[in-house]
């Protein structure tokens, strides 16, 4: 078909909260190898990580689950410490997925409607999920009910009613799992014949992986770091005491200041199982980290001593259990709060997604209600791809020396005073996204149209935009002036390198693809346009709601 294909928001059912989410974490013994093995010029084996414990905690949406199901599931963190921790974890989480699948395997018929519900149904003219208007032919209303309780919920179109199925997957959220915990888990997922699906980022790192189970529930492992790219200790600082909902369920109010901050643990000191039997907290020097070449601060160590004494830890093993348990509860509170914020602002639940970019893109489609034309022409795709090269975001003088009275003995009063200033332009990405953005109706100019085309006559704020492939000459007399920051950066290999990098050069450009405003800027600074080879035209229709869209930080 010659009709263009458009992309628009379709995941309306992602507004409904995933009713059950698992939060997990591992702790390991860092065994020292008998001999440090050098794997490559830059990699040396300093320690071998052996999982010693794991903790799993389930968070429930009690508004969508009947009490008999919630009461049949664990309501406290499950913690295991011992040998084969990674295998025990897979065994436990698979058994829980099977239990959840069995509990959710209910299909109750809809209960008789009340008079109030019947009156409400009569008044509804649009789907309560996607807001499409009901018609007598193609979009008829459908009564949606909870298959677990039989209670009437809403009036939906057939499409939304079909998509709103009971939970078929269990998100297993681990902070930083792509770089660490996944290596323990993935080796043990072949515990049965059920399928394993992997979304790889590289040979060693995974965006996510899925384990199928007997009950039909899929275990979907999610790295929360891909949503919140900060350490757990930093994320915890963004919450108030009232927002530690799950942590408060297991600790007294007076103990909350001790457990609502990221604790400290002597990872490298714990290199044998026997050290877990120590009856006192190791000294501060035992918390030294050889990777960061740093030790914990005195206040952090004093905090660790307070935790040990307050919770009457008898061994280092008990302290590690408490450390692990609080870590999982803190992760739960952080991510559950993130879910509430996204639900409030975008009416979407992050638990349906694997990464922040996928959530952000859906939020943009939903908020703007935009329809984006998909580029199916291979030549068009290559043409636009050639013009995408990132951006030069800095221009720094390589060497400068200040001379002023604040420099002490280095100050030379006989010379002119000078200062160094570093100026930063904030929100460049947001600024660019607030400009008119192409979204559909891409067309090529004909050769005849190109001959008559004058890029300098195109207004910057016109209704039509252009992507241009051209040849540009960089006059030699401009080289000295433009040397600090040349125009028209390009992707190419530097001399003596095999890796393509983004370069700013004073060379002439041939078959250079760029946005017409970039070309106009270069020409206004005396670069010479030699030839226009091809031009892609599009209506520069500004999506007004995009200005108001609150972008998630990526």
Asked whether residue 391 is domain-assigned, the answer is yes
Is a pLDDT exceeding 80 seen at residue 535?
yes
Average pLDDT of the residues of the chain:
90
Q: Are residues 84 and 210 in the same domain?
A: yes
Helix axes 356-368, 316-346, angle to 10 degrees: 20
* Contact status, residue 159 vs residue 130, Cβ threshold 8 Å: yes
**Do 41 and 92 sit in the same domain of this protein?**
yes
- 78-100 per-residue burial string, b: 16 or more CB within 10 A, e: under 16: bbbbeeebbebbbeebbebbebb
Same domain, 242 and 384: no
Whether residue 306 has pLDDT greater than 90:
yes
Same domain as 481, residue 336 = no
pLDDT at 540: 60
Convert the pLDDT of each residue in 248-258 to its tens digit.
999 999 999 99
Number of separate domains in the chain? 2
In a domain, 126, yes or no: no
% residues pLDDT > 90 (the chain): 69
Average pLDDT over residues 406-417: 93
Alpha-carbon distance of 58 to 489, in angstroms, equals: 50
The 10 Å Cβ neighbour count of residue 131 is 11
Helix (H, G, I), strand (E, B) or coil at 27: strand
103: nearest Cα among 71, 77, 78: 71
Q: Using CA atoms, how far apart are residues 259 and 264, in angstroms rounded to an integer?
A: 11
The CATH code of the domain that includes 16 is: 3.30.420
97 within 8 A of 217, measured Cβ to Cβ? yes
Q: Does residue 62 sit in the same domain as residue 196?
A: yes
Residue carrying structure tokens 């740093």: 294
pLDDT at 1: 52
The Cα–Cα gap between 505 and 209 comes to 43
Q: What is the average per-residue pLDDT within 75-90?
A: 96
**Do residues 342 and 465 both lie within one domain?**
no
What is the arithmetic mean of pLDDT over 521-544?
Answer: 82
pLDDT at 542: 42
Same-domain status, 334 and 470:
no
Determine, yes or no, domain membership for 74.
Answer: yes
Instruction: Give domain status of residue 425, yes or no.
Output: yes
| Nearest C-alpha neighbor of 108 from the set 166, 163, 182 | 166
d(CA 270, CA 282): 10
- The helix/strand/coil state of 87 is helix
Residue 157 lies in a domain: no
Give the relative orientation of helices 316-346 and 298-310 as an angle to the nearest 10 degrees: 100
Residues 410 and 341 in one domain: no
Phi, then psi, of 358 in degrees rounded to 5: -65, -40
Closest by CA position to 173, among listed 20, 11, 347: 20
What's the rounded mean pLDDT across residues 136-146? 86
- Cα 269 to its chain centre, rounded Å, is 33
Residue 230 lies in a domain: yes
Per-residue confidence band for 137, with pLDDT thresholds at 50, 70 and 90: confident
Residues 400 and 443 in one domain: yes
Distance CA 81, CA 84 (A): 9
Asked if residue 75 and residue 22 are part of one domain, the reply reads: yes
pTM for the model stands at 0.85
**71 φ/ψ sector (left φ>0, alpha ψ -120 to 50, else beta):** alpha
Count other C-beta atoms under 10 Å from residue 462's C-beta: 12
Check whether residue 222 and residue 336 sit in a common domain.
Answer: yes
User: What is the tens place of the pLDDT at every residue in 365-393?
Assistant: 999 899 999 988 888 899 999 998 877 77
Please check whether residue 231 lies inside any domain of the structure: yes
Range of the domain at 332: 7-105+168-258+328-346
Q: Choose between 466 and 536: higher pLDDT.
A: 466
Interacting residues of 312 by C-beta distance below 8 A, sequence separation 6+: none
Query: H or E segment at 142?
Result: strand 141-145
Q: Please check the confidence at residue 553 and state whether its pLDDT lies above 70.
A: no
pLDDT above 50 (res 549): no
Contacts of 362 (CB under 8 A, 6+ apart): 9, 11, 14, 348, 353
Nearest to 57 by CA among 174, 176, 187: 174
- Distance of alpha carbon 476 from the chain centroid: 46
Q: Give the torsion through C-alpha atoms of 362, 363, 365, 367, to 10 deg.
A: 160
Q: Is there a single domain that holds both residue 247 and residue 394?
A: no
If one compares 18 and 290, the residue with the highest pLDDT of the two is: 18
Cα separation values, 58 from 62, 92, 95, 446, Å = 12, 13, 14, 61
């Amino acid at each position: 078909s010659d009709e263009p294909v458009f992309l628009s928001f379709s995941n309306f059912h992602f507004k409904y909260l995933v009713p059950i989410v698992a939060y997990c974490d591992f702790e390991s013994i860092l065994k020292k190898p008998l001999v440090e093995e050098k794997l490559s010029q830059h990699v040396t084996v300093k320690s071998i990580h052996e999982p010693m414990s794991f903790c799993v905690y389930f968070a429930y949406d009690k508004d969508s689950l009947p009490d008999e199901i919630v009461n049949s599931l664990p309501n406290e963190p499950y913690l295991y410490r011992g040998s084969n921790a990674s295998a025990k974890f897979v065994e436990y989480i698979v058994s829980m997925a099977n239990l959840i699948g069995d509990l959710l395997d209910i299909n109750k018929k809809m209960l008789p409607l009340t008079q109030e519900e019947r009156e409400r149904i009569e008044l509804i003219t649009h789907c309560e999920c996607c807001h499409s208007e009901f018609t007598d032919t193609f979009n008829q209303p459908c009564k949606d009910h909870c298959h677990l309780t039989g209670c009437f919920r809403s009036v939906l179109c057939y499409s939304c009613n079909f998509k709103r199925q009971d939970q078929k997957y269990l998100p297993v959220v681990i902070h930083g799992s792509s770089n660490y915990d996944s290596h323990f888990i993935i080796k043990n997922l072949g515990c049965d014949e059920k399928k394993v699906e992997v979304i790889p980022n590289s040979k060693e790192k995974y965006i996510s992986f899925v384990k199928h189970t007997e009950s039909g529930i899929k275990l979907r492992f999610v790295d929360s770091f891909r949503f919140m790219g900060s350490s757990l200790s930093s994320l915890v600082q963004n919450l108030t005491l009232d927002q530690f909902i799950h942590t408060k369920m297991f600790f007294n109010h007076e103990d909350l200041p001790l457990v609502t901050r990221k604790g400290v643990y002597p990872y490298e000191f714990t290199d044998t199982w026997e050290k877990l039997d120590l009856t006192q907290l190791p000294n501060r020097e035992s918390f030294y980290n050889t990777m960061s070449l740093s030790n914990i601060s005195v206040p952090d160590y004093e905090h660790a001593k307070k935790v040990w004494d307050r919770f009457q830890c008898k061994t280092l093993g008990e302290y590690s259990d408490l450390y692990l348990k609080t870590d999982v509860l803190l992760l739960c509170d952080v991510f559950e709060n993130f879910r509430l914020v996204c639900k409030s602002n975008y009416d979407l639940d992050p638990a349906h997604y694997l990464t922040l970019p996928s959530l952000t893109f859906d939020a943009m489609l939903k908020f703007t209600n935009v329809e984006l034309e998909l580029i199916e022409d291979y030549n068009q795709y290559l043409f636009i791809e050639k013009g995408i090269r990132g951006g030069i975001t800095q221009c720094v003088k390589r060497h400068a020396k200040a001379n002023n009275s604040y420099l002490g003995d280095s100050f030379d009063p006989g010379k002119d005073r000078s200062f160094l200033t570093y100026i930063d332009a904030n929100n460049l990405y947001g600024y660019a996204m607030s400009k008119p953005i192409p979204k559909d109706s891409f067309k090529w100019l004909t050769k005849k149209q190109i001959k008559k085309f004058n890029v300098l006559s195109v207004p910057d704020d016109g209704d039509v935009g252009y992507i241009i492939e051209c040849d540009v000459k960089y006059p030699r007399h401009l080289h000295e002036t433009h040397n600090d920051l040349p125009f028209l950066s390009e992707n190419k290999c530097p001399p003596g390198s095999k890796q393509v990098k983004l370069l700013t050069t004073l060379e002439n450009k041939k078959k250079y693809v760029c946005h017409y405003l970039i070309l106009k800027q270069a020409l206004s600074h005396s670069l010479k346009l030699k030839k226009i080879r091809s031009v892609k035209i599009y209506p520069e229709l500004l999506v007004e709601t995009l200005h108001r869209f609150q972008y998630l930080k990526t």
